[in-house]
Amino acid sequence: MHVDPQAEHRWLQRLVGGWTFETTCSMGPDQPPAQSKGSEQVRALGDIWILGEGEGEMPGGGIGRTLITLGYDPLKCRFTGSFIGSMMTHLWHYNGTLQGDVLTLDTEGPSFNDPNQMSQYQDIVTIRSDSERTLASRVRLPDGNWHDFMSATYRRVT
């Protein structure tokens, strides 16, 4: 089976390379935001998929490792992918859309308040330039509003 790369696949290829990042994460309503640093290496799997392997400081100590996969399904007109981390047991499935240089990835995962309940989340990737991108993570609250809990700025190394 052969797939011709679409504009959406070419957009993903812009993420390929070595990156460093700095994050700010909300650890709770009565706690100050936690900051950490790390790196990510994004590589292509052909012209259709990208895989990002990250490593960074964890709030409270230790090193966390992550793996993200992203692609585009032209039949569904949706981005698709997954995310896993060494600090969690949940496999996150992405389903997303692109508007300009903003990729919004919808997913579902354990609630912050009750791990037996599921919540809706979004990871929002914005390419600001060839050498900088951002990631914002948010959760939908029971009242329907979105709450931003993490932001990261990535800077290209290679």
Task: Say if pTM beats, i.e. exceeds, 0.85.
Answer: yes
Instruction: Note the pLDDT of residue 55.
Output: 98
**How high is the pLDDT of residue 64?**
97
Give average pLDDT by consecutive 10-residue segment, the chain, 158 residues. Answer: 92 98 87 93 97 93 96 97 97 98 98 92 98 98 95 98
State residue 28's pLDDT score: 74
Q: Which domains does the chain have, with CATH numbers?
A: 7-25+34-156 (2.40.128.20)
* pLDDT score at 45: 98
CA distance linking residue 139 with residue 149, whole number of Å: 7
Query: Which string of DSSP letters, residue by residue, matches 96-116?
Result: EEEETTEEEEEEEEE-SS-TT
